[in-house]
Structure 1
Amino acid sequence: MKKFSHQSDIFELSKNRRRVVLSLILLLFLMLFSRALYLQQIKKDFLQNKGDGFSVRNEILHSYRGKIYDRNHKLLAVSSPTYDVGLTINNHIKNENIRDIATILKINEKNLQQKIKNKNKGFIYIKRSVSPESAKKISELKIAGLNLDKQYRRFYPNRESAAHIIGKTNLDGIGHEGLEKQWDSILTGEKGHKKVVIDGSRRIIDDLHDFKLPKNGSDIFTTIDSRLQHTAYESLKKYIERYEARSGSAVLVDAKNGDILVMANYPSYNPNASVTNLDTMRNRSVTDTFEPGSTLKPISIAYALEKKKVRTNEIINTNNGLLKVGRTYIRDDHPENELTIKDVIKTSSNVGASIIGTRLTPKELWGAYDKLGFGKKIHSQIPGEVSGKLRTYTAWRDIDHSRMPYGYGVSVNLLQLTQAYTIFANDGVVLKPKLYPNEEIKVGEKVISPNVSKKMRAFMQAVVEEDGGTGGKAKIPGYTVAGKTGTAKKVINGQYVNQYVASFVGMAPSNNPKFILAVMIDDPSKDSYYGGTVAAPVFKDIMKDALKLYDVPYDKELNENLMNKMVKPQTGDAKL
């Protein structure tokens, strides 16, 4: 066996082998140097263009927007996946590709060509909110630079009927009106993100595994009944068009817990489409105010009874329907020398209401209206709600004091007027309307006693059920209805004009009310402008369906032939 004298002898190579190893190392170095020189000098432009085409993008992961439901868990608003189609213009786009894109997306080919030509370079949106089916066809074209960005777009099954209460989102998915705006942050949730590598055509070529998952939005549940919402919308549309009015609104609440079942307006808009007439987007039930006219007569008279300013069986001297206040006269359409309290309400006597109401001092009458919430917001959490107007009693003149009992000189929105009538269904206590089932019932001040409340329902029942009442068109077979008509002149630029607001507010069944409904029609201009003619039929349509849907027991005989019974055209509400 060969022996080594030193450890280094083990690794010693022959001279020839050392030369071979050194030659190989030198050759490898020369190859690497040559490649680097080639890439640096000869392929410089190619590599720069290639490198410029890649970039890291922080891609947004959209959260799923929460749904909005009605009281029966029927969808009022829901998100569905759509795609925004865009194009990165780096190279020449073939005409046949442009033609294919235009055909699939159903857009004008020449307009698309011009749009691409004008941009020349960069990124453009071709069409937003494209259906998944169309997006799939676009993807199959495999056109360089074509980009599909997944989004969620809102869909509103009830279209126009619930548009004002639900609202809508804009193209970016942000709440723009209604509950969509009110609860935008809750519905939206939190967006996520992920970092990706994209090429020059905006195609994802690598995932960097740096991401945050989105947090979906929360759902909103409301007290709205979409079935009755549709009934209200269709009835408003029918009678507004019939009497050629400007607009109208209806609010229906549960008399026992304040749930808002209906808040409808006409005209309306389709939230699934773009809106050109912004005026149609107002939720007039809370944004628009009006002088309520004769619908305040039961309130002022009830408070006079409560304060013992008048007796239930008292006969009021109405002086043949004429009352002078300063230089102004208050008149009745159907003049009488004497009227009972019930007949003052039943025939809607302005003179009788003024005589009774002014027995209350301005401070007392103002106090009643203040307790009902006039002149201040209900805080319904519905966007656009206004407070109305109730001037302090110290600013009232004699004529103001005399008109306040029949609804002039004070302005309210329809939701406030509905709230005011809760005292007649809840033993004299104000009940705040609410839009959310998990919201606690809020009871306000006691304005009148249970006894006075019951008497006033009987008086208002005569308005609808007895001959000579102004509200006969609100009769519903099988149910007693208590209500009051209203016909008030409009105030424009501080002056009363010959335009009217027709209204009807009532409840049923009158002995134990389940629902309270207020209807307002703005400026009916054909055939009639009286509340009993124009607004009462809308009340009947909505209330009849509500009583039926909720299986409310009948409280009167059905043997009356109400459908064929002639109802005289109504007159007699508060006019100046």
Structure 2
Amino acid sequence: MAVNFKDEVLVRVYVICAIIVVPVALLLSFRTLEIAVFKQEKYQKLGEAYVRDVTVQAERGNIYSQDGNLLATSVPYFSLRFDPFMASPEDYYDNIDSLAYLLSLHVDNSHTAGAWRDSLFNMRDSVNRSANHYYRLAESVSYRKLQDIKTFPLFNKGRMGGGLIVEKKESRKRPFGWLARRTVGRIGGEKVGLEEAFDKELSGKKGKARMFRIPNGGGWLPLEDLTVVEPTAGADVHSTINVNIQDIAENALYTAARRHLPDWGTAIVMDVETGAIRAMANLGRGDKTSNKYYENYNYAIAKATEPGSTFKLATMMALLEDDKVMLDDEIDIENGVKTFYDKKVTDSNKKSRNWNNISIRQAFEQSSNVAMAKLADSLYQGNEFSARLADFKLTEKTGLEITGEAEPFIADTSSEYWSGISRAWLAFGYESRITPLQMLNLFNTVANDGRMMKPYLVDEIRREGKSVQRFKPTVIQKQIASQTTIEQLRSLLEGVVDNGTAAKLKSDQYRFAGKTGTSQQNYGRRGRKQYQASFAGYFPAENPKYSVIVVIFNPSQGAYYGGEVAGPVFREIADNIYNSMIEVHEPLNQGPRPVLYAEQMPDGDLGHTDELATLLNFVNVDTDSTTETEMAVVRSADERVSLAAADPAAQAFPNVRGMRLRDAVYVLENAGYVVHPRGVGRVTSQQWQRDAAGRKGKDVTLILN
């Protein structure tokens, strides 16, 4: 029987494979089953000890000003670590000298190149010590410096080939420093301001990264893992703050703080038509013994105080809207002193001591406390006055986006504080607590013809340059009072500046309207009296663009009246905005075309007919006559221009007065004369040179001006 050697060999191969492969396969299956089932918990804990998923913070979005400047941004910085065992021994030792030199020069110059070289040798030593895969090289490295470090020998081979480990971190920066610091907010510690209010939008969406723990306490390193969830960068917040106006407000407020040394001060600038806040400045004193001021608290929205006489705008709005008074009515202010029950109301205006009967208009302009108190107390009953004030939204928050707005308070008959004098005291700014922003919103409403807008700080949210959410101006109440009432209130506020307590603040450049306010904050208590000085108003008076309030609390040096402490701050803010912002100025060509009189029209100009006609046509001046001569002279009358024929060349000695030099030279040289010009402009006179016989010669000097 013949033996088939080929089959015999195949059988032997199959047997050998079965003997080797099958046991190995069975062993692998068993180990897989053991790890996945029987010892799953053990190996899972072991894996968690060395590998874990961590949250990766997204890049935080920017906060911009209304005019496109960065108010807050995240600046990346980097921590550098080094694993000396990632490079091959040959690469490592070939590059160690040059790497040591560059590290001493650009990373840490407190170590010499020799010291760095010794350190790098010791890092690689795993004979005398356990291997360390996580050596610290540097902290807080900028992006630009990192790019240079990545070009160093060994490091230029990348993480896996050279061992450079880069950990990215972020630092929140404000390019304009302290500008609008409290409004923009912060994220370190307790979040405040826009950083807090729009934290969700700014934060973006967190990602995940898989990290590996380096033995011997070396820290955690990210693994190259395709299953990592990439973070989504935060959106950008575009605020309504205008950097220039904010800077103007802060500087004016700081000057006043240094002059009067108050406990705190605030200034707000609002766009009249929209309610957008263009500036919100806050300054607080470091401590009672310090004269340094910081923006450490948002007094504009968080401090509700008794406003004083700025509140008289609300009182007059109620009296006029309820037809209780007319501005020409008279009231006896009793020489500025009136007692209600056992409490005395006194006018701070010294002029009141000489007055009895004065008009309601004059009482407001001169800020008579007695007049307001008597009117409210005598013309309202029960809760009528307080209810009317509530109609003006003075008992409601403005709803500004950032947190911390204080609750306003207006005393009424349900209040535990209500007494027989409450209505009278409420009329001139006591028995109430109002924040500066809430008070400004009432003045802004009057400036806006009675339309109350919701104050707001953010225009838009953008992601990668595309708008994802817009915040349009919001109307709280279309008409807070009748148009007649609003017009009367505006005339009263203008009168305060023209004739009243703010007359010293009046400007020759533009007209503004407003109200002074002074209130004692700690009445009924012993100790040094504390006053609050304020001024609220808007400008320009005829067509308001911006409303402003300034509140300065407890000035301890110099004056304490609103017109003397807060008023100048308002004026400085308004002046600087008026001088630097073109939108405040009325367009020169606005309105109907003015009537042109003869003295305003071109007259006596002499030149080429076609060129004069072209020029007059270009400036939209129609001519009512034509001439066929080459030259013409302009003749003007009221609202009319004509061209009259002129032929200087036909004259024995051509008269070229009124011509431009080019035309004069053309006429004279064609007639054979030699021209000697002096000056620029038009020919105002011509001087003929004399010949030997004393007659006019061929040379003529033209005087131009």
TM range (shorter): 0.7 to 0.9
RMSD of aligned residue pairs (Cα, Å): 4.1
Contact 1:374/1:387 (CA < 8 Å) preserved in 2?
A: no
The within-5 A match list for 1:369-388 is: 369-388=389-408
SS of the aligned residue for 1:281 comes to coil
2:175 — aligned with what?
157
> 1:214, CA displacement in angstroms?
1.2
Offset from partner CA, 1:505-531 (integer Å, 9 cap, x none): 001122222211111011111110111
Shift of the alpha carbon at 1:498? 0.6
CA gap 1:343/1:205 in 2 versus in 1, 3 angstroms: closer
Q: Which of the numbers 528, 549, 560 marks the counterpart of 2:559? A: 528
Match of 2:340 in 1: 325
Among candidates 466, 470, 473, match of residue 501 of structure 2? 470
Partner of 1:9: 5
Match of 1:541 in 2: 572
Partner residue of 2:240? 223
Residue pair 1:490, 1:496 contacting (<8 A) in 2 also: no
Superimposed CA distance per residue, residues 186-241 of structure 1 (whole angstroms, 9 cap, x where no aligned partner): 11111222335464445859523221111111111221111100110111001111
Residues 59, 196 of structure 1: 8 Å contact kept: yes
Q: Show the 5 A alignment for 1:273-284.
A: 280-284=295-299
**CA contact 2:262–2:285 (8 Å) conserved in 1:** no
| Match in the other structure for 2:533 | 502
Q: Name the structure 2 match of 1:37.
A: none
Distance 1:428 1:203, change over 3 A: closer
Q: Secondary structure of 2:227's partner? A: strand
In 2, Cα distance between the equivalents of 1:170 and 1:129?
17
Residues 206 and 518 of structure 1, relative CA distance in 2, 3 Å threshold = closer
Relative distance call for 1:198 and 1:136 in structure 2 (3 A) is farther
Q: Trace 1:18-417 onto structure 2 (pairs within 5 A).
A: 55-58=50-53, 60-84=55-79, 130-132=141-143, 148-170=166-188, 176-195=191-210, 197=212, 199-200=214-215, 201-202=218-219, 207-267=224-284, 280-333=295-348, 334=350, 335=353, 336-358=355-377, 359-395=379-415, 396-417=418-439
**Structure 1 residues 388-413: Cα deviation after superposition (integer angstroms, max 9, x where no partner):** 22233343212111111100010111
CA distance 1:123–1:520, shift in 2 (3 Å)? farther
8 A Cα contact 1:372 1:430, kept in partner: no
Q: Contact 1:104–1:137 at 8 Å: present in 2 too?
A: no
After TM superposition, give the deviation of residue 79 of structure 1 in Å: 1.5
- Residues 274-314 of structure 1 show CA distances to partners (whole Å, capped at 9, x for unaligned) of xxx99953211111111110001122022112211112211
1:371 and 1:152 map into 2 onto residues whose CA distance is 49
d(CA) in 2 for partners of 1:522, 1:123: 56
User: How far 1:60 sits from its partner (Å)?
Assistant: 4.5
State the shift of 1:63 in Å. Answer: 1.7
The question of 1:456 aligning with 2:489 is answered: yes
Contiguous gaps of at least 5 residues in structure 2: 21-45, 84-99, 111-131, 156-161, 287-291, 460-470, 589-705
Deviation at 1:355, TM superposition (A): 1.5
Say whether the 8 Å CA contact 2:453–2:473 is kept in structure 1: no
* Structure 1 equivalent of residue 123 of structure 2: none
On the 8 A contact 2:269/2:549 being kept in 1, the answer is yes
Distance 1:186 1:106 in 2: 42
- 1:430 alignment counterpart: 452
Structure 1 residue 545: Cα displacement: 2.8
**Bigger shift: 371-380 or 246-255?**
371-380
| 8 Å Cα contact 1:423/1:453 also seen in 2 | no
Cα displacement (A) at 1:59: 5.4
Aligned residue number for residue 40 of structure 1:
none
How many angstroms does 1:135 deviate by? 5.6
Separation (CA, whole Å) in 2 of partners of 1:224 and 1:60: 34
Partner amino acid, structure 2, of 1:68 = I
Matches of 1:126 and 1:199 in 2, distance apart? Answer: 16
Between the aligned partners of 1:346 and 1:5, the Cα distance in structure 2 is 134
Which deviates the most, 125-134 or 324-333?
Answer: 125-134
CA distance in 1, matches of 2:412, 2:322: 20
Partner of 2:585: 553
Q: 1:419 aligns with which of 430, 434, 441?
A: 441
Q: Cα offset for 1:181?
A: 0.8
Q: Deviations over 1:14-43 (max 9, x none)?
A: xxxx9xx99xx99xxxxxxxxxxxxxxxxx
Q: 1:212 aligns to what SS in structure 2?
A: coil
Instruction: Give secondary structure in 1 for the equivalent of 2:318.
Output: helix
Give the secondary structure class of the aligned counterpart of 1:72. Answer: coil
Distance across 2 between alignment mates of 1:498 and 1:160: 32
SS of the residue corresponding to residue 261 of structure 1 reads: strand
Secondary structure of 1:439's aligned partner? coil
Number of matched residues? Answer: 492
Q: d(CA) in 1 for partners of 2:541 and 2:187? A: 41
Identity rate, percent: 27
Higher-Rg member (1/2): 2
The 1:58/1:425 distance shift into structure 2, 3 A limit, reads same
| Cross-structure match for 2:681 | none
AA at the equivalent of 2:572: D
Q: Distance in 1 between matches of 2:148 and 2:567?
A: 54
Q: Which moved more, 1:515-524 or 1:382-391?
A: 382-391
Q: For residues 434 and 450 of structure 1, do their structure 2 counterparts lie closer, same or farther at Cα, with a shift above 3 Å needed? A: same
Contact 1:198 1:206 (C-alpha < 8 Å) held by counterparts: no
Q: Distance in 2 between matches of 1:399 and 1:366?
A: 13
Q: Is the 8 A contact 2:517 2:561 kept in 1?
A: yes
**RCO (CA 8 Å, sep 6+): is it higher in 1 or 2?**
1
Unaligned 5+ runs, structure 1? 27-50, 89-96, 108-120, 270-276, 557-576
Q: Distance in 1 between matches of 2:435 and 2:133?
A: 51
Contact 2:134 2:219 (8 Å CA) reproduced: no
Q: Deviations over 1:123-156 (max 9, x none)?
A: 9999975533566788879999996420222221
Moved more, 446-455 or 133-142: 133-142
1:315 maps to amino acid: E
Q: Which residue identity lines up with residue 384 of structure 1 in the other structure?
A: G
* Partner deviation per Cα, 1:89-128 (whole Å, 9 max, x = no partner): xxxxxxxx9xx89x95899xxxxxxxxxxxxx99999997
The alignment's TM-score, normalised by the length of structure 2, stands at 0.62
- Check whether the contact 1:318–1:337 (CA below 8 A) recurs between aligned residues: yes
Question: Match of 1:480?
Answer: 511
